[in-house]
Structure 1
Amino acid sequence: MTRRSPNTATPAAVIASTWRRLDEVPALLAWWTVLGAAVALGGTERVSPALALIVGAIAFIAGMRRTLEAFCHWRERAALAGRPLLFWTTERFLKRVKACPSHHVWFGLGFDWRPEHSQKLYELTKIDPSVLTPPAWSLRLLGRGTGKPADSIGWSALHGMDPHETDLTVAEKTLEGGTLIVGTTQAGKGVLMNLLVTQAIARGDTVIVLDPKNSRRLRDAVEAACRHAGRPAPYTFHPGEQSDGVRLNPLADYTRTSELASRITAVMDEEGPFAAFAWSAVHVIVGLLTVCGRTPTLAAVHAALTLGIDTLLEEALCRRWHPGAVEAARAEAGRRGLKGRAAFDFVLAQWEQTGQTDPAIADGIAVFRHDPEHYAKITASLVPVLTMLTSGALRDTLSGADVGATLRPMISLKTVLTRRQVLYAALDALPDPVVASALGAILLSDLAALAGERYNTRQTGERVCLFVDECSNVMNRPLIELLNKGAESGVRTTCAMQTVSDLAARLGGPDEARMALGNFNNVIALRTKDLVTQRFVTETFGRTAVANVDAALSASRTADDPLAFGVGYAERVTSRREETIPPDVLGKLPNCEFFASLAGGRLVKGRLPILITKEPS
């Protein structure tokens, strides 16, 4: 493929050699015939040896030139047959990665997409690519095998816009701005996620994987990467497994009680005054738990919301008041004939008369004196979510004691970060998407708080790589904040999703989805059928000048003389600004092939190997 002319003020700037017939064949056959004739006649008396040598040399040079030109063009057309799927073992993949420049991330095999490739792509849409694709026997002669199978999914010619491919690598710093992977089901999102996770583990980074699908392939890839890197086995978390993995307390680590309130209310879909009331209620409960010396858990917050704050508030009073004061106040209330809420309100009044101050207790008293029916209404949106997260096996998984009947250890995300470990968290969205969404939201809120702590204490040297599959299930404000500001605290985020519409449904509208997507500096697009998603992706690819040939045929004659007529034919090359990649092309990508827009404006076309346990026979 020839490059466009650098003379941008001339028509040649938009014209390059693209698809055509093998026009060199007649010429090369003629030159090789001349060479054969020169060799044959050079040994006879009809032609002098000197003349035969000169003619033969000229014919050889011209024939070789035409043959090389034909071979190069034939090779470009052979690339339209595509390339079959790659299957690599983890060992082979890691060897390939080690051969790349240091501090770089390997994204696949492919080439940088230039304006010439766009020109070839637009012109190829005018005809059936099979007309240009050489027969299978010639592909084997070129060492390309048989190309992509005819029954494979997608348009194999897309990766044939360039016959050459190389390792696609980007500097690690490029990934600090967030990476988005989009693609429909079975297009290769999991394959790319496996490759990126494996590299992060091999680098020794702290790795956290949130997988709503509970993909066996992704989990196996995480475990295999840890083995090959010589790292401890990953922590595995599953909300439904009570005999394996670890338990997680998302409220274990905090610097301010307000963080826990924000963390818990992040699972709510509502915004506005009801969300503010819910935040205030949780903040009061967490404050009282802290006064009582109890570790805040989801179960403790849920109990205080549903059963009332009375017991917790009384326990806090016993901690702050002198011994026996609460019992004495209750006895006095009994002598006055007070019972229930009235009796406890009397106890609170006695506390207030002592002049002692405690912000958590003061807030608790205000909540207790709030109208119970109204209080139940303003916290009603939070109770169902907490009920889901504290029911059945989840109660012990998220709120269990550090030491109990279970043999599963209780950890927190801070444990993972401190020990530079690997965590694979399966959210199990298929049977219970609501719980998976709430669970992912609260874990992301926990990580966002830890990122803020790392930034405030300048502990940003050790990288944390966060991978979120099917991010439309768990996208929330904390995840957006991680994308927006996480790089400053050493957190690099990679998210995968299917469509922009899924994200819009999660966040409440297309504008909110666009706001979230604007935080990704790198966009990798596999096959996607959704038009909205296609347009979003191709917008990031930009536009380029595409040449088009307009043909005009004219005829004229005069009425006076029927034999006087004229005909004309004209061709005109025009240039228009078109999408660098047409949106509909994204719906034709084969499995494990992608277009990517990387930070800094680099556009690439690539393909991915599938990681396997052993080499295929």
Structure 2
Amino acid sequence: MAQYHAVETLLRPAVELYSVAVCMSAAVVCLVAPWSLALTPSVGVGGACCCAALGIIRLRQANVVLRYRRQMRRLPRYVMTSRDIPVSDLRLFIGKGFRWDQRHTHRLMQTYRPEFRRYVEPSMLYQLARRLEARLEFARYPWSGIPKLLGSDHVLNPVRPLPPVGGLPRLHAVEPNEIDVTLPLGERVGHTLVLGTTRVGKTRLAELFITQDIRRGEVCIVFDPKGDADLLKRMYVEAKRAGREEGFIIFHLGHPALSSYYNSVGRFGRITEVASRIAGQLSGEGNSAAFREFAWRFVNIIARALVELGQRPNYTLIHYHVVNIDELFIEYAVHYFARIDKKAWDVIVQLEDKIDEKNTPRHMVGREKRVIAIEQYLQSTKLHDPVLDGLRSAVRYERTYFDKIVASLLPLLEKLTTGAIAKLLSPDDEDLNDYERALDWQRAIRNRAIVYVGLDALSDTEVASAVGNSMFADLVSVAGLIYKSGVDNDLDEYASLKGIPINVHADEFNELMGDEFIPMINKGGGAGFQVTAYTQTMSDIEARIGNRAKAGQVIGNFNNLFMLRVRETATAELLTKQLPNVEVYSTAVMSASTDSSDPHGDTAFTSNTQDRVTATSIPMLEPAHIVALPKGQAFGLVQGGQLWKIRMPLPAPDPDEEIPKNLQTMVECMRARYFPADEKRNPAPAPDQNASVQAYLLDEPPAYEAEES
């Protein structure tokens, strides 16, 4: 309804209905008894039409007030199947909402005034129904049917319970006219940060974004540390619906038998990246910084030697050679002398025969005799090779001292090379050439693949963090090569990847990030990377990095911000402090009287009453409003500071959401470990995990089908 006054008030009785009743009554009289108004029948029809038109106008105005009051307590249901999600090549659909401005702040402030409380809070009848429902929960028949009747979610139930979303509906009800909220795809390259506490809709928002990315035919990489079965199912269903199921790749640490292979240190642009990806997982605080540098150096020495020997580095090889550095030193010496001096081994064998405990240097005690002989030969010949010199420096350390300085590295390597994940993270070349079960980022980007990465962080946080961080580092390396392909003509293999949008969705990204994540969001946009990160609070990022300045550096690289309900005030202020102050208006009735000082005058006193409008400057939003958001609702700060209030569509089941039995095996196993908040905790026994999830691409029956039949 148009407002012509300084102060807008929609929380009031719908007085327009009185005008509607009068207008409709007059229209009836004009039609039925025009003679009572001294009208002819033809003029009476015209008068009835005019009265009816005025009544309709006033009814529309009354409906605005009535709908506004109704939505203050219950918003209309917003449900959408994944098939109905609109997909555009220009814009990203987010949900329904409106752009927040001064009017909405003014309306929101009115809802907190005591005179408007009866329009905002549940009615007395509703509260009585809830109390009665609680008291009769364990009652016997026939009283036991009353709670079911009162609690039925049906439109004919006048006291039906509110949706289980919590929060304050008024935050969205301040604007009765919603529109579709979208984000231009060109803005996504500036990266997006989604903040929200547990179980408020972050994963649902991720499903909404991922669904559109898959249907647009773009590269979609999803990191899921906790293992959400519904998210995995949604990705496969959308891939199948888009005809892209052959490009669907699954990597899951919790299900090695069903997962693709991946060597996170086997591909690199520079050899030093291998050491950075491994040593980067170690603590760098205090005295640990020195041991971290030692670990980096020795891993770099081993990686260089392996590459020179024609072997692809992996966790198993590096772990083996950290423990047995002598063997690698001998192997590389054989390789080196075969190229430089083929007669060297004759001299080395003679020196080896002469070595005993008396002539063994103190720092070489415990080393193999051949290692000592090679070292003596190199000292006499003055030969120099960068890789061999590095290995020499390693073996010249006293054995016990060497074990101490690499002690911080060994626990990490043992976790990454123990059990079934050893084969998964350290595949041989034959496994990596198996395109159906090998994950390679370059090949995945070129084929516009859909990649799901489940890290099973609930079982082993450290391994999940190490693998996820290494994957980020690997992606940063690929991004650098793609970015340089337009400058360096020698990178033709990466030139074909330039211009491909690469959507990276990192759920709980605070558990995965490290120093490698910063260059991805800082410079990855030039290579087509579009990162959407999901986490709970700012403190999670700061606690993970251990540095407040770096945490601010990470947050400062996200141009788009979507904030759902949060519980930390500092996180809420990340949004509210970026908004301006606005003026809200309020009215006050002023009454005054003045006695007359003239005893002989005709006026004994004067009085006046006036309505005074005052303006007060307040923040556009307060942190308390972010804390009170219902589930599935968010504030979005996009496109250079535009504030939008958004609510996401609730998911509705699709009749064609079927997945192969092999993939259903993994989904059921994941659900056995992870429970959404709205599911009962009585899981069924986990099915056999030895069935191959990759068989769904080949339509092969899994092994457990034969056992069931």
| TM-score bracket for the superposition, by shorter chain length | 0.7 to 0.9
Instruction: Please list, as runs of the form range in 1=range in 2, the aligned pairs for 1:416-565 lying within 5 A after superposition.
Output: 416-458=444-486, 459=495, 460-540=498-578, 542-549=579-586, 551=588, 553=590
C-alpha separation in 2, matches of 1:292 and 1:549 = 80
What is the CA–CA distance in structure 1 between the aligned matches of 2:240 and 2:438, rounded to whole Å?
23
- Is structure 2 residue 187 aligned with structure 1 residue 181? no
Are the structure 2 counterparts of residues 346 and 89 from structure 1 closer, same or farther at C-alpha, using a change threshold of 3 Å?
same
Please list the CA deviations of residues 469-503 of structure 1 after superposition, one character each: whole Å capped at 9, or x if unmatched: 11111121111211111111111111111122222
Which of 327, 331, 334 is the equivalent residue of 1:318? 334
Following the alignment from structure 2 to structure 1, what is the Cα–Cα distance between the partners of residues 444 and 190? 23
Q: Tell me the TM-score normalized by structure 1.
A: 0.86
Given the alignment, which residue of 199, 205, 210 partners 2:218? 205
Q: Which residue of 2 aligns with 1:251?
A: 265
Task: Flag the 1:569–1:514 CA change in 2: closer, same or farther, 3 A.
Answer: farther
CA–CA distance in structure 1, aligned partners of residues 171 and 408 of structure 2: 50
Give the 3 Å change call, closer, same or farther, for CA 148–531 of structure 1 in structure 2.
farther
Q: Which moved more, 1:346-355 or 1:50-59?
A: 50-59
The 1:86/1:333 distance shift into structure 2, 3 A limit, reads same
**1:594 alignment counterpart:** 634
Deviation at 1:308, TM superposition (A): 4.1
Q: Secondary structure at the match of 2:273?
A: helix
Give the aligned residue type for 1:471: F
Q: 2:427 matched to 1:391?
A: no
Matched residue, 2:91: 104
**Runs of 5+ unmatched residues, structure 2:** 126-154, 361-365, 487-494, 657-709
With over 3 angstroms needed to count, the CA separation of the structure-2 counterparts of 1:325 and 1:45, relative to structure 1, is: closer
- In the alignment, is the contact (CA less than 8 A) between 2:503 and 2:531 conserved in 1? yes
How big is the shift at 1:145? Answer: 11
Q: Are the equivalent residues in 2 in contact too, given 1:550–1:574 (CA < 8 A)? A: yes
Taking the aligned partners of 2:519 and 2:427, their CA distance within structure 1 comes to 29
What whole-Å deviation, never above 9, does each CA across 1:57-95 have from its counterpart, x for those lacking one? 6644543432332223323333334445544333222xx
> What are the superposed Cα offsets for residues 105-124 of structure 1, whole Å, 9 maximum, x if unpaired?
11112222232222212222
Give, in whole Å, the separation in 1 of the partners of 2:175 and 2:156. 14
Mapped pair 1:240 → 2:254: yes
**1:263 to 2:277 alignment:** yes
CA drift of 1:552 comes to 6.3
Q: Which residue of 2 aligns with 1:288?
A: 305
Deviates more, 1:373-382 or 1:253-262: 373-382
Paired AA for residue 475 in structure 1: M
Find the aligned partners of 2:293 and 2:158 in 1 and give their Cα distance. Answer: 63
Deviations 1:393-447 (A, max 9, x none): 2211101323379998343333322332121110001122222112211111111
Q: Per the alignment, do residues 50 and 126 of structure 1 end up closer, same or farther by CA in structure 2, a change over 3 Å counting? A: same
The amino acid across from 2:201 in the alignment is: G
Partner of residue 8, structure 1: none
Q: Are residues 1:368 and 2:405 paired? A: no
Find the aligned partners of 1:171 and 1:72 in 2 and give their Cα distance: 31
1:138-172 Cα shifts (integer Å, max 9, x gaps) = xxxxx999899425222223322222223222111
CA distance in 2, matches of 1:330, 1:177: 63
Amino acid in structure 2 at the alignment position of 1:286: A
Deviation at 1:550, TM superposition (A): 5.4
Deviates more, 1:75-84 or 1:467-476: 75-84
Give 1:526's aligned amino acid: L
CA contact (8 A) 2:596 2:606 kept: no
Q: What is the alpha-carbon distance in structure 1 between the residues aligned to residue 533 and residue 610 of structure 2?
A: 52
| Deviation at residue 549 of structure 1 after TM alignment | 1.5
Within a 5 Å distance, the mapping from 1:65-214 to structure 2 comes to: 65-83=57-75, 86-93=78-85, 96-97=86-87, 100=88, 102-127=89-114, 131=119, 149-154=161-166, 155-214=168-227
CA 1:464–1:241: 2 relative to 1, 3 Å: same
How far the C-alpha of 1:467 sits from its partner, in A, is 0.8
Letter in structure 2 aligned against 1:111: F
What is the distance in 1 between the residues matched to 2:352 and 2:303? Answer: 28
The answer as to whether partners of 1:402 and 1:410 remain within 8 angstroms in 2 is: no
State how far apart, in whole Å, the 1-side matches of 2:37 and 2:106 are. Answer: 55
**Matches of 1:324 and 1:463 in 2, distance apart?**
56
Q: Write the distance in 2 (CA, Å) between the matches of 1:595 and 1:560.
A: 61
Structure 1 contact 82–148 (Cα < 8 Å) conserved: no
Q: Secondary structure at the match of 1:492?
A: strand
Find the counterpart in structure 2 of residue 139 from structure 1.
none
For 1:226 and 1:147, how far apart are their aligned partners in 2?
42
In structure 2, the CA distance between the partners of 1:398 and 1:54, relative to structure 1 (3 Å rule), is closer
2:407 match: 380
Aligned residues between the structures: 595
Assess if the C-alpha contact under 8 Å between 1:292 and 1:319 holds in 2.
yes
Q: Shift of the alpha carbon at 1:39? A: 4.5
- Residue 49 of structure 1 deviates from its aligned partner by 6.6
RMSD: 3.5
* 1:194 shift after superposition: 0.9
Partner of 1:584: 624
AA aligned opposite 2:260: V
Identity of aligned residues (%): 27
CA shift, 1:312, in A, is 1.0
Aligned partners of 1:571, 1:302: CA distance in 2, in Å? 81
Shift of 1:536: 1.7
Tell me how far apart the structure 2 counterparts of residues 490 and 173 of structure 1 sit (CA, whole Å).
Answer: 11
* d(CA) in 2 for partners of 1:364, 1:376: 15
Note if contact 2:106-2:585 (Cα within 8 Å) is conserved in structure 1: no
Asked whether the 8 Å contact 1:237–1:426 carries over to 2, the reply is yes
> Does the alignment pair 1:28 with 2:20?
yes
CA distance in structure 1 between the partners assigned to 2:225 and 2:213 by the alignment? 20
Q: Which of 604, 608, 611 is 2:648 aligned to? A: 608
For each residue in 1:194-251, what CA deviation from the matched residue of structure 2 results, as whole angstroms up to 9, or x when unmatched? 1111111111112211100111011001111110111115211111323212111001
Task: Structure 1: state its 5+ residue gaps.
Answer: 6-10, 137-142
TM-score, length of structure 2 as denominator length: 0.76
Match of 2:35 in 1: 43
Amino acid at match of 2:252: H
For 2:353 and 2:76, the matched residues in 1 are separated by 84
Whole-angstrom CA distance in 2 between matches of 1:615 and 1:588: 35
Which deviations, in whole Å up to 9, do the C-alpha atoms of 1:39-62 show, x marking residues without a partner?
A: 555225956679867865664454
Deviation at 1:574, TM superposition (A): 3.5
Between stretches 432-441 and 342-351, larger displacement belongs to 342-351
**Residues 442, 47 of structure 1: CA spacing in aligned structure 2 closer, same or farther, 3 A cutoff?**
closer
Q: Determine if contact 1:180/1:520 at 8 Å carries over to the other structure.
A: yes
2: CA distance, partners of 1:492 / 1:103: 15
Correspondence 1:226 to 2:232: no
Deviates more, 1:215-224 or 1:416-425: 416-425
